[in-house]
A and B are shown apart, each in its own frame.
Chain A
């Protein structure tokens, strides 16, 4: 019995080191903050009151129902007019106010319903993001239309003028959609369709980036760990080359591996993308396809992000005393890749609170992941800032890495180096 106890004790002491505990703590903290982030986005989407602009050219009873339904909310109309010539103004106001939609009701609306036909309205949707929950921002308006439709049915039955067609009585309203996405106007397409298409297109790229970064991180950090475990590092560092050359050699070597990875995945993805693209050709969504310039920009950002990942791995790898420590060090890198992936998938950068935006912006992998959507939305500024940030980040990591390679940390580990430095003195004072 005491044998197994001492074995268990030894195992725990080997496994529960700061190097293994820290990543887990980080992961837990990340989960907590991630939950807050996406949870908030979903809740907002579902409970927000409808905020709309309206052009109502009908002076009959039935269009009044819209106003009655809206009256239940606190000031939901950002614009109201009964003049057809005001539609442009209504759309402008909708965008300026960040309203969800503009509802346009024709002058024959009430008479059409009274005649036992189905009345048609036009809804201009203002899509403010491209994430999975962005289409949800239309939910309050959808709910409102359903509400109006139900009340219209009641009114029809109560007033004893039901037409012959029961289908029309239970569903007296239909609508046509036009969606505004960034600076694009997509006639005849609803937000749900746009969202579905964008997801197909913008889901794969972040997924690809995430997979490549996670795998690459593992490889680089482990290779650093192995150099130490196999005792090849000392020889390498005494060869007649500068530290910068060694760091660059490692970076470029692993970058090639990373690009090969990315290439292989891209090849597989190509097939999937082709299917999507042909779908876009059939629909009014063709406008959402990325052009050559945009594709090149995304490619550049992916390459820069891979370099950032490598730089981070080199820095973390410097602290990996051996293979085991190296493996737990890959966890933070993986999480840096997973967080923006989920955020980009579920919600949208522009819709997030400032704090979350700052955090996401700092994570370099966010930028290529959201580049596609940003360009579709016309947010080129965010794309260019992203590229600038990625370049700066890369320069910084190379500088830090070279410094680390010049210090003792590589060979003596973090604890020894720190205990002599200002940080170590600080910690000892506690």
Chain B
């Protein structure tokens, strides 16, 4: 079964075109990567998929639920990590995780969800400090743990490890891999080709709102006759 079906999806901001008709599928339990230069339309796609923005035309269907017709249903399935999100500054990390958990579980389940979130966040005793006092990377880890702890069926992660140090980033990648193994479908965007190559089962390269290449990382390398994804990226984008 397809976890996500994107059909001829267009998105314009006023007269400015953000995404210019893309179609792709993501299979259940797959890690699918969107790559492409700045302004290509990655965030736009992820935001529409998260029901934050409306489509201009076309449709995106998550586990049989259309973002156009059933946005409330879609929100029950997904978890979205925005590319530069923040948390409420007056809450502590723990309070923030509990606030989010309250939308997904009750009682003992909710408590367990928060415990799991704290574990993923790796913030240890700082989890009880106010978000206001966190560094950029600490806030990012808090938000990643928030997106993952809710056991979504479909996780949408925009530039997931941006702002994290080498060790933290590799830890998060490990967590994402485990998630996928446990049956969560993941759609992520990244500018880190090393990350994409190691994490993603399949990749779509977007340029100027259109998909210009799609396949497994090894497929793409073979097709463009290179040894790494970075060169594929450069070749495709520079033409």
Which residues of A in the span 397-430 have a Cβ within 8 Å of any Cβ on B?
Answer: 406-408, 411-412, 415-420, 424
Chain A neighbourhood of B80, CB < 8 A: 234-235, 238
Give the interface size class of chain B. 20 to 34
Q: How far is the CA of A10 from the CA of B78 in the complex (A)?
A: 41
Contact across chains for B52 and A237 when beta carbons are under 8 A apart = yes
A242 within 8 A of B: yes
Contact across chains for A418 and B14 when beta carbons are under 8 A apart = yes
Known: A230-B89, A234-B82, A411-B53. A240 touches B13 (CB 8 A): no
Which residues of B in the span 82-109 have a Cβ within 8 Å of any Cβ on A?
Answer: 82, 84-89, 100, 103-104
Contact across chains for B86 and A230 when beta carbons are under 8 A apart = yes
Question: What distance in Å separates the Cβ of B200 from its nearest Cβ neighbour in chain A?
Answer: 22
A29 within 8 A of B: no
Chain B neighbourhood of A415, CB < 8 A: 14
A25 within 8 A of B: no
Instruction: Report whether over half of chain A's contact residues are helix, strand or loop; otherwise say mixed.
Output: helix
Question: What distance in Å separates the Cβ of B71 from its nearest Cβ neighbour in chain A?
Answer: 8
Chain A neighbourhood of B89, CB < 8 A: 230
B76 within 8 A of A: yes
Contact across chains for B52 and A411 when beta carbons are under 8 A apart = yes
B170 within 8 A of A: no
B54 within 8 A of A: yes
A1 within 8 A of B: no
- The interface on chain A, measured as residues whose beta carbon lies within 8 A of the other chain's beta carbons, has a size of 23
Contact across chains for A416 and B88 when beta carbons are under 8 A apart = no
B12 within 8 A of A: yes
Chain B neighbourhood of A419, CB < 8 A: 14-15
Q: How far is the CA of A424 from the CA of B12 in the complex (A)?
A: 14
Q: How far is the CA of A239 from the CA of B13 in the complex (A)?
A: 24
A115 within 8 A of B: no
Chain A neighbourhood of B84, CB < 8 A: 231
A357 within 8 A of B: no
Chain B neighbourhood of A239, CB < 8 A: 75, 100, 103
Q: Which residue on chain B has the smallest CB distance to residue A418?
A: B14
Which residues of B in the span 9-61 have a Cβ within 8 Å of any Cβ on A?
Answer: 12-16, 47, 50-54
Contact across chains for B52 and A231 when beta carbons are under 8 A apart = no
Contact across chains for B75 and A420 when beta carbons are under 8 A apart = no
Chain B neighbourhood of A240, CB < 8 A: 72, 75-76, 103-104
Contact across chains for B53 and A408 when beta carbons are under 8 A apart = yes
Partner pick for A412 among B53, B72, B86, CB 8 A cutoff: B53
Chain A neighbourhood of B16, CB < 8 A: 416
Contact across chains for A235 and B82 when beta carbons are under 8 A apart = yes
Instruction: Please indicate which of the listed interface residues B54, B84, B86, B146 has the most CB atoms of chain A within 10 Å of its own CB.
Output: B86
Contact across chains for B51 and A416 when beta carbons are under 8 A apart = no
Q: How far is the CA of A232 from the CA of B72 in the complex (A)?
A: 19
A241 within 8 A of B: yes
Question: What distance in Å separates the Cβ of A290 from its nearest Cβ neighbour in chain B?
Answer: 41
Chain A neighbourhood of B12, CB < 8 A: 420
Selected A-B contacts with CB under 8 Å, 26 pairs: A230-B87, A231-B84, A231-B86, A232-B85, A232-B87, A234-B47, A234-B52, A234-B82, A234-B85, A235-B80, A235-B82, A235-B87, A235-B146, A237-B51, A240-B75, A406-B54, A407-B54, A408-B53, A411-B53, A412-B13, A412-B53, A416-B14, A416-B16, A419-B14, A420-B12, A420-B14
- Residues of A at the B interface (CB closer than 8 Å) are 230-232, 234-235, 237-242, 406-408, 411-412, 415-420, 424
- Residues of B at the A interface (CB closer than 8 Å) are 12-16, 47, 50-54, 72, 75-76, 78-80, 82, 84-89, 100, 103-104, 143, 146
Task: Known pairs A232-B88, A234-B80, A237-B52; list 17 more (Cβ under 8 Å).
Answer: A231-B82, A232-B85, A232-B86, A235-B82, A235-B87, A235-B146, A238-B78, A238-B80, A240-B75, A241-B103, A406-B54, A407-B54, A408-B53, A415-B14, A417-B14, A419-B15, A420-B12
